[in-house]
Amino acid sequence: AQSVTQPDIHITVSEGASLELRCNYSYGATPYLFWYVQSPGQGLQLLLKYFSGDTLVQGIKGFEAEFKRSQSSFNLRKPSVHWSDAAEYFCAVGDGGSQGNLIFGKGTKLSVKP
């Protein structure tokens, strides 16, 4: 069965520092992969997605992610974190079914130090 693992529950980085959030998935075929961001008390906003093609995908708010099939990973990166990036980040993979269901990781909470 498909699954998504986000190994880090909580990460703290200093403003201006680089960021990498880890995501590992389990899926037999080429996966549909997503990163979402959730600010406190808000819904989820789609940051970026990978379906096929170039393994480095660009998203909104200066984020990017790289699909590495050999490592079953889809890590999210940002070169310079801003205080407004403090939020919870969720990685997700399509479940392979026809209903378009997503399987989510448990999330990584990002705190940003001034």
Q: Which of residues 74-113 bind another protein (CB under 8 A)?
A: 90, 94-95, 98-102, 104-107
Asked if residue 36 binds another protein (CB under 8 A), the reply is: yes
The correct pick among 28, 43, 53, 114 for binding another protein (CB under 8 A) is 43
C-alpha–C-alpha distance, residues 39 and 71, integer Å? 29
The correct pick among 44, 57, 65, 87 for binding another protein (CB under 8 A) is 44
Residue (of 70, 71, 72, 45) closest to 59 by Cα position = 45
Q: Count of residues binding another protein (CB under 8 A)? A: 23
Smallest gap from residue 107 Cβ to another protein (A)? 6
Question: What are the structure tokens assigned to 85, written together?
Answer: 């990036």
- Quick one: which H or E segment has residue 10? strand 10-14
Smallest gap from residue 76 Cβ to another protein (A)? 16
Question: What is residue 60's three-state secondary structure?
Answer: helix
Backbone angles phi, psi at 98, to 5 degrees: -90, -5
Binding site for another protein (CB under 8 A): 32, 34, 36, 41-46, 49, 51, 90, 94-95, 98-102, 104-107
